Every structure is written in C-alpha cells, then in structure tokens.
Copies of this chain bind each other. A is one copy, B any other.
C-alpha cells in the first residue's frame, strides 16, 4: 500500500520563513494564527488524514460509488465513518467565518491542510471541496436569509454542496445551456433540465446536499446573458431549519471514469425541482465565477497533492529496490545490487518532481495568502494589488500545476518500472486521479485563454506589470549575493523571455487573435516557470538566512538550496523554447482546413 506523510515541516517553512505570516498578525484571523497554533493545526490535520483518509484511498478506487435503482448513492466502504470524523474534528471549518460557526482562520492555513487531505484521498476531499465552492458563492451573492439558512450546516459539514454547470451539449460554452427556471407565485422557481459531471452530486455522507444550479429563467436571453443561479436543496429546508420534503432532483447515473472513483460524479435530473434565485437574476455567470475561481485554486492544489504523494512513494521505492550498480562503482559492495536511488536517471525524475512539488506548494500558499489579503489587507491599495496578483496567477496555478502534477505522478510511476503499472502498488491511481485536474473547472487550455485573453489585458495590463516589477526588483536585490546567483541569473533570463513574449503578444495578438490563441498555452507555462522560479529564489534566500542564523536543521536548508539550483538549471531554461513556440504564431496551427485533419 502506498505511504503518505503530510509534509508539515515544508509547509511551515513556506508559511513562516518565505511568506512571513507573522507580518500579517495585525489582520483579522491572522492574529490567532501564531506559528505555534498553525504548527499544531497542521500536525493534527496531517495525523488525521494519514490515519483516517489515506487508508481509504485505494479502497475508494477499487469499490467506487454505487447507485441503487431509487437513485440513492452509496460511497465506498469507510467513507461515511471518515466523513463523520471529518465533521466531528471541524476540519471543514478552519477558515470559515465565525458568525456562521467557522474558526475564522486565514484561507492560507486551510489551504495548507487541504493539500494533505487531497494527497491522502483526493476523491474523498472533493466532497468538502465542492462544498467550499458553494459556500463561497452563497457568502458573496446570497441574501442574509439564505446565508443564515444554509451556511451554518454547510460550514459544519452536515450538509454538502455542489456546482451544476455542465449539460450534455454544453461545457465551456455556458451560453448554450438549456436548463429552465419557471417562476412560481411564491417567488421560488421550478427547475427542469439535466446536468452532467456533477462531482459529489449524490451520496450518503451528509443529511442534505445544496445544489447551486445555473439555469435560464423563462423569457431570459438564450445566451450567457440569460443565465441565473439557483439554490436547489436535495431536501427542502423549513424556516425553522429542519428538513422538509425531498426535492425533485435525482441522480440518473454515476459516470464510469478513469479515476477519482471514490467520488460520485453524477448525472442529475431536475424535474420541476424547487429552486431559489441567488444573487441577481441573469447575473448567474458572475456568481458562478466566484465559485470557479476558488475552485480553480483548489484544483491546482489537486495537481500538487497528487504530485506530492506520488513523489513520496517513488522515493521510498527508489531507496528500497535493489537493481544494478552505481555508475561510479558499487555503493553497497556487501549487497548483490545497489538501491536504484544511486542511478542518475532515477534521481533526475525524483529531483524534477521535488522541484515542482516544493515550488508549487510555495506558489499555491502564496496565492492563498493573496486571497486572504484581497479581503483583509488594511488598505484598498494592498487589497487591489493582492487581487490583481491572484487573478493573474489563478489560471497559472490551475493550468501549470495540474499539468505538472500529472507529469510528476507519471514520473513517480516510471520509477517503479513494471511494478508501477500493476494496480496493487497504487501508483497508477495517482496518475488516473491527477488526470482530471487538467480537465475540470475549465480545461487547462481554457485557463490559458483566460490568462492571455482576459487577465493580461485587464486594467491595461496592470496585474502583469505588478508581477514583473516584483520579480525584477527581487532579482536586482538578490543578485549581488553570489550564493543567490545560480538561481537569480537564470530567473532574470526567464523574466527576459517572459517580457519578450509579452511584447510579441501585444504586437501580434491584437492584430490577429489567433496568434494569441496559439500562444496561450506556452505563455501560461512560461509565466508558470517564472512564478515558480520566483518562489524558489525566495526559498533559497530563506534557507541561506536560516543557515547564516545557525539553524539546526542544516540538511533541510541545504536540500532547499540544491533543489533551487536544480530548478534554475534544468527547468528555467525551458522558457527559451516556450518563447520560440509563442513567436511561431498561429500560421501552421490555423492553416489546415478542418476536413484535411
């Protein structure tokens, strides 16, 4: 069975030494988040996921979810019990607002814990994960009455939530959706239509499920401007908070998928179900994007999480499996063979995974901190700056880190040789589970278009300018330290590639939007390399400072410095060929007639 240990030491390094959470101690929620408190939460959270969720990961994959003829759904053995413990421990309440029963901690702390939960059991973690998205939408666009009615139970976890966008003929292009909402005399709506790919759509974990559903009101424009958002509870909720009648929404089928078998991905049939408009009519898309943006960071986290657990298992196998001899002579002459971790090509895979996992963790936690600052920073200027940065980098965190999570899981499987392809070792599950993260909440291609077509241009390019200023200033400041040179010099070159590519895009993307479309994917990865490179520079700085201050865990910090140099030497140079791809333009991509392919 695969192993997993929550990387608490590494998380604390990012939170304390790189992001310096103590600098925000004056902000709401951060005051209580002292290093000791955060350390205790993460240790306990790590122990919980290791002991309770991780042992169910392969079980969930093997058993999957079962739908009975009446449309009820049973989750895999052990999931109900584990979910009860999750609720009991209050693990879903960490960063929820105190007025609805949450603990009011910073989002960045909850994110750190969620990484562990997803590593331990991604399919399980999706049940509370989707709930968080629904909570976010209700918090922002719901009426006070709606908040009081739904949030306390959703935050506690006794109810879960879902997001209902996709229909059989309509995924990315939501303007095409057909689900109808007919207004009733009492102000509620009758919702009718079919939604597909609804994660956690039906299950036996919670008393109630609060579906957030996109639909078109009668007479609304038949395009994206006609979409409204509705709350459709599985069980209607009485005014006193007790559960009422079963609503007209049923699970028509569970999809058979490549992975995440432990999560019930449902076809949901709405058959005149009672729904309640949430937020303004015909503004449903904007409301849905609140959920989507939170969800996209969560999906980026899934990439990291699968990369991390896959890496841990590859390391263990590489230390134990005896096969061949070190190229420089036997490492252990007393044995018949050396452990495969002596082989440079095995180490290449391990170091590549490690560099992306640790760098990705830093980037995601930084992004989560920006989400906190968007709401909580003291000045309007700081809030705007944080919002600019996280908006810009959300598609990068989602798109790049899920690509790298899949790549990492594939590399980890590769370290196992033939044993990685055999299901009992569990390595193929990480690959199959990681695969979905590149697809849902907007495919990675859609993320790239969001970045290039929307985020770059917003406010006259302010966000990218801010980002480039931060990274350039950091390089200028650090490059005088010769110990930082092996990281900062490649980073500066990478920034140069990013600037040149951006210039090309401005000059050629407006003239021909297909140039922007053709450049989007490599541009997203180029920005991702710079963003993660910037995190690696900061981690290297933090480790140099710690060593200079006489830190006791010398090995930890030396490993950071080596891994930082590895990222700089072997990954940042990819920015050059990404720029070449961007500058190649759309010509060969658009030239073939559709029927010639």
A592 touches B517 (CB 8 A): no
Q: Would you give the shortest CB distance from A328 to chain B, in whole angstroms?
A: 6
Contact with B along A580-592 (1 / 0, CB 8 A): 1100101111111
Contact at B596–A569, with CB atoms within 8 Å?
no
> Is the CB–CB distance between A345 and B570 below 8 Å?
no
> At the interface, yes or no: A506 with Cβ under 8 Å from chain B?
no
Q: Beyond A323-B170, A576-B577, A596-B559, is A344–B176 a contact (Cβ under 8 Å)?
A: no
Q: Enumerate chain B residues within 8 angstroms of A580, measured Cβ to Cβ.
A: 569-570, 573, 576
Contact check, B255 vs A422: say whether CB atoms are below 8 A apart.
yes
Contact indicator A337/B173 (Cβ below 8 Å): yes
Per the bound structure, the CA–CA distance linking A417 and B167 in Å amounts to 13
User: Could you say which residues of chain B place their CB within 8 Å of the CB of A597?
Assistant: 315, 318-319, 341, 350, 354
Residues from chain B with Cβ under 8 Å of A169 in the complex: 322
Closest to A316 in B: B597
- Say whether B258 contacts A594, CB under 8 Å: no
Check: A264 CB closer than 8 A to any chain B CB.
Answer: no
A435 interface neighbour in B349, B431, B573, Cβ under 8 Å: B431
Find chain B residues with CB under 8 A from A431 CB. Answer: 258, 435
Is A159 at the interface (CB under 8 A from chain B)? no
CA A170 to CA B336, docked complex, whole Å: 11
A302-353 interface (Cβ within 8 A of B): 315, 318-319, 322-324, 327-328, 336-337, 339, 341-351
9 contacts across the A-B interface (CB closer than 8 A)? A166-B418, A173-B323, A319-B595, A343-B517, A347-B589, A351-B589, A413-B435, A555-B596, A576-B576
Report which A residues bind B (CB closer than 8 A): 166, 169-173, 175-176, 196-197, 255-259, 315, 318-319, 322-324, 327-328, 336-337, 339, 341-351, 354, 406, 410, 413-414, 417-418, 420-424, 428, 431-432, 435-436, 438-440, 443-445, 448-449, 512-514, 516-518, 520-521, 555, 559, 562-563, 565-566, 569-570, 573-574, 576-577, 580-581, 584, 586-597
> What 5 pairs between A and B have smallest CB-CB spacing?
A344-B517, A566-B588, A258-B428, A327-B513, A573-B580
